[in-house]
Amino acid sequence: MANLNINIGKLQLKNPVMTASGTFGYGSEYSDFLDLSRIGGIIVKGTTIRARQGNPYPRMAETPSGMLNAVGLQNKGVDYFINHIYPTVKDIDTNIIVNVSGSTIDEYVETAEKLNSLENIPGIELNISCPNVKEGGMAFGTSCLSASQVVRAVRMAYKKDLIVKLSPNVTDISEIALAVEAEGADSVSLINTLLGMAIDVEKRRPVLSTITGGLSGPAVKPVALRMVWQVAQAVKIPVIGLGGIMNASDAIEFMLAGASAIQIGTANFIDPTVTIKVIDGINAYLDRHNFQSVTDIIGALEV
Amino acid sequence: MANLNINIGKLQLKNPVMTASGTFGYGSEYSDFLDLSRIGGIIVKGTTIRARQGNPYPRMAETPSGMLNAVGLQNKGVDYFINHIYPTVKDIDTNIIVNVSGSTIDEYVETAEKLNSLENIPGIELNISCPNVKEGGMAFGTSCLSASQVVRAVRMAYKKDLIVKLSPNVTDISEIALAVEAEGADSVSLINTLLGMAIDVEKRRPVLSTITGGLSGPAVKPVALRMVWQVAQAVKIPVIGLGGIMNASDAIEFMLAGASAIQIGTANFIDPTVTIKVIDGINAYLDRHNFQSVTDIIGALEV
Amino acid sequence: MKKFMLDLSVKENKILSDQYHLLILTSAEKLPEILPGQFAEVRVDGSATTFLRRPISIHYIDYDANELWLLIQVKGDGTKRLAQMTAGESLNLLLPLGNNFNEPVEKDASVLLVGGGCGVAPLLYLGAHLKRNGFKVNFLLGARTKDDLIELCEYERFGNVFTTTEDGTLGERGFVTQHSLLNGSNFDYFYTCGPTPMMKAVARHALKTKAICEVSLENTMACGIGACLCCVTDTTEGHVCVCTEGPVFNITKLKWQI
Amino acid sequence: MKKFMLDLSVKENKILSDQYHLLILTSAEKLPEILPGQFAEVRVDGSATTFLRRPISIHYIDYDANELWLLIQVKGDGTKRLAQMTAGESLNLLLPLGNNFNEPVEKDASVLLVGGGCGVAPLLYLGAHLKRNGFKVNFLLGARTKDDLIELCEYERFGNVFTTTEDGTLGERGFVTQHSLLNGSNFDYFYTCGPTPMMKAVARHALKTKAICEVSLENTMACGIGACLCCVTDTTEGHVCVCTEGPVFNITKLKWQI
Ligand SMILES: Cc1cc2nc3c(=O)[nH]c(=O)nc-3n(C[C@H](O)[C@H](O)[C@H](O)COP(=O)(O)OP(=O)(O)OC[C@H]3O[C@@H](n4cnc5c(N)ncnc54)[C@H](O)[C@@H]3O)c2cc1C
Ligand SMILES: Cc1cc2nc3c(=O)[nH]c(=O)nc-3n(C[C@H](O)[C@H](O)[C@H](O)COP(=O)(O)OP(=O)(O)OC[C@H]3O[C@@H](n4cnc5c(N)ncnc54)[C@H](O)[C@@H]3O)c2cc1C
Ligand SMILES: Cc1cc2nc3c(=O)[nH]c(=O)nc-3n(C[C@H](O)[C@H](O)[C@H](O)COP(=O)(O)O)c2cc1C
Ligand SMILES: Cc1cc2nc3c(=O)[nH]c(=O)nc-3n(C[C@H](O)[C@H](O)[C@H](O)COP(=O)(O)O)c2cc1C
Ligand code: FES
Ligand code: FES
């Protein structure tokens, strides 16, 4: 049994396996299938200052080894989270991280401020990369300037752990990672979804109500892994890797490429117990290769 | 039997189905399996001014619904093409287009100049998007400035049809498309491969000798389709769509999104006769929906 | 209700027509309690083009025989693969998912279960359940043609069965809502599942006759358990998940144009 | 040689050990001519994780019975699915691909066919071919343990069979190149296929004894027909495709450190 503990910024994780925002609800949706306290961290749904209805149906299209979604940040707003959800999740023995989105810098800041005071929320993940909302969202994550601005503003307002989630829809993701590192992000997580599209040829209409949507799942894994590798070479803060992880072997690829922890998203839909299998699989790998600690494999790729 | 003829820039195609560069050799590799003259066009291997050995083995990694390649433009150079290959392909009754690459603008121009005089080569495809070579290649395709420069220079030297092949590894592909349109490209083709990576966890080494490589196949289709849609909205010149097309339905998605023609790459490896099936399938679709001509479905998406 | 991830084994795959298959699943363990209207998310192994699970209604559950029935209509690669399952193969399911049909408050209520196409799937178990609880059950099943009206004898075990076909090859010719039954009698409760235009027509009839009407929606789903928010329908309370707050909705809650 | 895309049908799937399966394929049509050392690109249907075709050697071809044999070693999901094929299922192949082993120029040449692991696959057909053309054939087959030394009686039909196992459970203990045969006799021709370290050891021995040595490489492939340039090996003439200029190479052409 190797040591799976890992610290990321100000967070202490019992293992490097977290769940990705928007794919694991508030955890409770999965509690019939697994013991939530075994997971390293749960990143809950994208949360905004006010309630949002999200985009019209249809919001989903299956694609080869992946899916497109266009949920568009449907959520009941940060106050609802604080008053109704937080009390039900705060005692789960894992890191509950809130994924924060907004249309303006002020919205990000206001939301972050409200979360700052929640004792059992050790950090937030700033979503500057959501492709499914008209204003803000991804736009912040696709230029160094706007990424810096939003991170700087939130950093002033939020004192606990600040993860910044990067968009893969850019020419040079390292550049954005360096920009948010400079503004005081404790870590970066990547990737959010790739912007994609699907068409129903019989109806000659887009499958999604929003025309385009975010691609996730194993289809994107090679791109995600490359970006994690590039960013891990560029920044000094920890990198959290995600995008298409389906099993322990995928997770280990990301860690070898330089990720200190990983998140699992779409795979939860196919196997609600996948997180536990990945934790056990990483442990088995470490034992088989005689590593004492999971930290031994972070960035251990030989090139 | 609908009319499948389509003109793209200065090219006249008997149908909108072409083969993608680097995946169909010089056509002859497939001649046992199909009648090459049925295809709308064949884009032959990436060709450079001098012979190139390409990258060391391993050059390939299978990924979920796709593959990474790191061939790195292995070819015997443009003179060898002119003297040894051209004579064997020039009488195939289809459009033979040469895919041209280079490390410097001069190399592109020199290669294009040499091809200008070949009577039965009606056009070239300028590859400003190859992720698998150290110098040039993709770099040209990831900034408007360098893309403009190389297209401007080649346009002066090359009088026949000039297709410019765009890189998907950019924040805003429409911007690049507009830039090359302004320099006189007759059409744009997209997408080239997405930069990706794969790791062998047992060996803790990258699978590819070059660490990263180009992702192709159905995994990338949603991204390719979105980019074709974006570019088709932006430019006036014809758009050639590719990326993950496996069957007629995929091809029709690209045409509805605005592509005037399509290319098939990786799918040839799984079914060497796929091009013929796609041509027949497009025809059947047009008949079933009572379209007289394939031009009726170009950009016919209802949004 | 507690949800399970179970590997059930295929006991039989009955070919009902060229489109329809009945998968009879069983298990060494006792099957969990499931309510009529609920569904399962089925993992499809061995199809290169099927990535997500597929939502499939509980067609019938026989606790004595410890059998779970799924009615599969072949639409694309996923259902095609399911229709190829052979006895002894194992199938991974998340279940029971979603809410359920609500039985009438009044014990003497007259009820009509209206199904079209694959929408008949949840109605067999609902009919059995209602009958067991003392209701007089009527089924009205519609299809394009005779061959798609399957398993009628199964429904007859639980109530009267009326049918329509568009081409008149069985039962009355026309759509379900054109069946003479709807002119003659008045029903207090309608339960319906099938193509949206059919469900809307049933809903319209119910509204007109002041009956209660529950419909079961088939929105596309990714997770099936309320985590992804992909399956929403618009209701008087805004977007709600069909997989958790549905698939069964009282039509007064939906924002349908009817 | 003209290449074909054929749908062959599985006549039998013989389980040889927990890792090895023998797929016997047949066809209503007469099988095309294939040379020893050539391979097929096999499409794997029904595996969600297998995208590309899989290169598999022609293990044996029986023109009288119109049978094509493939020896499958289960490595990952693709070969696992192939090992699950059942009689009557159809398999899509591109064949014949690649070059072939060259038979000795001198009719009295002494030849040794050295195989390890799944590398034995092309040697059975090569042995049969050489015997038919009048050569005296010797096989030297190596494996980790007894259970992986399969089908020995098939090889015995065409020549003498010598074996080694690493654990000594069958034949001489050790690696193939440690077999006493190599000290005693001198061979003029070596044909080898298997793990690279084994092939290199055989090549070393051949060079030392001034014998001719042909090796069959197993580079990863995408197209199998010379179109993608993914499968190259470095040779005295630069990068060449293993799928068209190989898989069989004379060791003098390779840039191996031996
Ligand atoms: C709650 C619920 C219960 C269901 N119960 C049953 C059942 O008991 N038996 C049964 O056979 N099917 C049932 N379905 C429908 C079934 O889930 C789909 O037919 C199946 O997912 C199609 O998968 P496929 O891979 O065969 O087809 P795909 O290749 O995914 O799709 C084929 C075609 O069908 C369309 N399609 C797929 N899913 C849906 C959908 N949910 N709504 C509308 N169009 C769709 C696609 O757009 C495409 O045009 C149910 C669906 C839901 C949501
Ligand atoms: C010309 C040629 C002839 C072959 N003949 C046979 C044969 O007769 N019988 C047979 O069983 N196999 C043969 N092989 C090997 C066979 O193609 C691979 O084992 C198979 O592709 C693995 O597919 P998979 O999906 O089972 O495993 P994957 O999941 O693709 O791979 C499993 C593991 O094997 C490794 N691997 C896969 N392919 C290769 C390869 N070509 N070289 C080295 N490592 C590899 C992967 O890196 C991975 O670690 C041959 C290969 C070549 C190129
Ligand atoms: C249905 C769905 C909803 C998502 N919602 C959010 C969200 O609210 N905030 C966010 O940062 N990412 C969101 N994502 C992106 C995921 O967190 C993750 O970055 C992406 O799916 C890639 O990981 P995966 O391939 O493991 O799913 C969502 C993804 C999906 C599939
Ligand atoms: C093995 C391989 C080699 C390629 N070589 C070239 C090349 O030389 N020039 C080029 O422009 N594109 C090259 N490409 C990219 C393809 O032409 C195409 O843009 C890409 O594969 C996406 O299409 P697909 O998904 O249909 O394969 C290559 C792709 C593959 C898989
Ligand atoms: S399908 Fe995921 S919330 Fe309903
Ligand atoms: S595998 Fe494509 S060239 Fe050899």
Q: How far apart are CA D111 and CA B2, in angstroms?
A: 62
| Cβ(B37)–Cβ(B56) below 8 Å | no
Of A105, A46, A42, the C-alpha closest to A72 is A46
Q: Are both D128 and D188 inside the same structural domain?
A: yes
- pLDDT at residue A209 is higher than 70: yes
Q: Are both C16 and C56 inside the same structural domain?
A: yes
Q: Are both C187 and C118 inside the same structural domain?
A: yes
Count CB atoms within 10 A of the CB of residue B57: 19
In a domain, D251, yes or no: no
Tell me which chain C residue has its CA closest to the CA of residue A44.
C227
In a domain, C92, yes or no: yes
The mean of the pLDDT values for chain C is 95
Q: How far apart are CA B258 and CA B174, in angstroms?
A: 13
Who has greater pLDDT, C258 or A183? A183
Contacts of B140 (CB under 8 A, 6+ apart): B128, B129, B146, B147, B149, B150
Residue nearest to atom 14 of ligand 1 (CA): C56
Looking at residue C258, its pLDDT comes to 78
In a domain, A1, yes or no: no
In a domain, D105, yes or no: no
CA angle, B218 then B71 then B254, to 5°: 25
In a domain, A241, yes or no: yes
Tell me which chain C residue has its CA closest to the CA of residue A61.
C220
Task: Tell if the CB–CB gap between B57 and D229 is shorter than 8 Å.
Answer: no
In a domain, B302, yes or no: no
Q: Which residues of B are the active-site residues?
A: 130
D153's enclosing H/E stretch is helix D152-156
- Number of structural domains, chain A? 1
Count CB atoms within 10 A of the CB of residue B170: 23
ipTM summary value: 0.96
The amino acid sitting at C92 is N
Complete DSSP assignment for chain B: --B--EEETTEEESSSEEE-TTSSTTSGGGTTTS-GGGSSEEEEEEE-SS-B--PPSP-EEEETTEEEE-----B--HHHIIIIIHHHHTTSSSEEEEEE--SSHHHHHHHHHHHHT-TT--EEEEE---TTSSSSGGGGGGSHHHHHHHHHHHHHH--SEEEEEPPS-SS-HHHHHHHHHHTT-SEEEE--PEEEE-EETTTTEESSTTSEEEEESGGGHHHHHHHHHHHHHH-SS-EEE-SS--SHHHHHHHHHTT-SEEEE-THHHH-TTHHHHHHHHHHHHHHHTT-SBGGGGTT----
Task: Tell if the CB–CB gap between A25 and C227 is shorter than 8 Å.
Answer: yes
Task: Tell if the CB–CB gap between C50 and D48 is shorter than 8 Å.
Answer: yes
B69 lines ligand 4 (CB under 6 A): yes
> Which positions in chain A touch C236 (Cβ < 8 Å)?
none
Looking at residue B95, its pLDDT comes to 97
Task: At A170, list the tokens.
Answer: 């850019």
Q: Give the number of the atom of ligand 3 that is nearest the alpha carbon of residue A125.
A: 11
pLDDT confidence tier of residue D31, bands split at 50, 70 and 90? very high
Task: Tell if the CB–CB gap between A62 and C52 is shorter than 8 Å.
Answer: yes
**Domain extent at residue D172:** 111-216
Q: Are both D65 and D129 inside the same structural domain?
A: no
Q: How far apart are CA C5 and CA D252, in angstroms?
A: 58
C240 lines ligand 5 (CB under 6 A): no
Contacts of C153 (CB under 8 A, 6+ apart): none
> Which positions in chain B touch A191 (Cβ < 8 Å)?
none
- pLDDT at residue A150 is higher than 60: yes
> Which positions in chain D touch B60 (Cβ < 8 Å)?
220-222, 228, 230-231
As a whole number, mean pLDDT of residues A215-230 equals 98
In a domain, B39, yes or no: yes
In a domain, D9, yes or no: yes
In a domain, C252, yes or no: no
Q: Give the number of the atom of ligand 6 that is nearest the alpha carbon of residue D224.
A: 1
Q: Give the number of the atom of ligand 3 that is nearest the alpha carbon of residue C228.
A: 1
Q: How far is A155 from chain C (nearest CA, A)?
A: 29
Query: What's the pLDDT tens digit per position in C150-191?
Result: 989 999 999 999 999 999 999 999 999 899 888 877 899 999
The amino acid sitting at A286 is L
Of A208, A213, A179, the C-alpha closest to A22 is A213
Q: The domain spanning residue D19 has which CATH number?
A: 2.40.30.10
The mean of the pLDDT values for chain A is 96
Ligand at minimal distance from the CA of D53 is 2
Q: Are both D82 and D142 inside the same structural domain?
A: no
Of A298, A265, A302, A301, the C-alpha closest to A16 is A298
Q: Are both D179 and D120 inside the same structural domain?
A: yes
**Domain extent at residue A268:** 6-297
Q: Over pLDDT 70: what percentage of chain B? A: 97
Q: The domain spanning residue A133 has which CATH number?
A: 3.20.20.70
Query: What's the pLDDT tens digit per position in D71-86?
Result: 999 999 999 999 999 9
Q: Are both C158 and C204 inside the same structural domain?
A: yes
Tell me which chain A residue has its CA closest to the CA of residue B62.
A222
How distant, in Å, are the alpha carbons of A135, D117, D145, D169, D195 from that of D176?
Answer: 68, 11, 12, 14, 11
Report the separation in Å between the CA atom of D192 and the middle of ligand 6, taken as the mean of its atom positions: 22
Q: What are phi and psi of C10, to 5 degrees?
A: -75, 120
Looking at residue C182, its pLDDT comes to 87
| Cβ(D39)–Cβ(D241) below 8 Å | no
Query: What's the pLDDT tens digit per position in C106-146?
Result: 989 999 999 998 899 999 999 999 999 999 999 999 999 99
Q: Which residues of A are the active-site residues?
A: 130
Q: Are strands B11-13 and B6-8 parallel, antiparallel or unpaired?
A: antiparallel
Q: Give the number of the atom of ligand 6 that is nearest the alpha carbon of residue D221.
A: 1
Q: How far is A270 from chain B (nearest CA, A)?
A: 15
pLDDT confidence tier of residue C10, bands split at 50, 70 and 90? very high
Q: The domain spanning residue D125 has which CATH number?
A: 3.40.50.80
In a domain, B1, yes or no: no
Answer with the one of C52, C72, C97 that is the final residue of a domain.
C97
pTM above 0.95, yes or no: yes
Picking from D4, D6, D7, D52 by the largest number of B CB atoms within 10 A of its own CB, the best residue to mutate is D52
In a domain, D247, yes or no: no
In a domain, A279, yes or no: yes
Q: How far is A33 from chain C (nearest CA, A)?
A: 7
Looking at residue A1, its pLDDT comes to 86
C-alpha B232 chain-centroid distance: 16
Looking at residue C46, its pLDDT comes to 87
Of D155, D74, D145, D158, the C-alpha closest to D120 is D155
In a domain, D43, yes or no: yes
Q: Are both C89 and C20 inside the same structural domain?
A: yes
Of A288, A282, A265, the C-alpha closest to A191 is A265
| Cβ(A20)–Cβ(C197) below 8 Å | no
In a domain, D53, yes or no: yes
Query: What's the pLDDT tens digit per position in B55-74?
Result: 999 999 999 999 999 999 99
Looking at residue B138, its pLDDT comes to 63
Q: What are phi and psi of B258, to 5 degrees?
A: 125, 0
- pLDDT at residue B137 is higher than 60: no
- Number of structural domains, chain D? 2
A45 lines ligand 3 (CB under 6 A): yes
Looking at residue B136, its pLDDT comes to 53
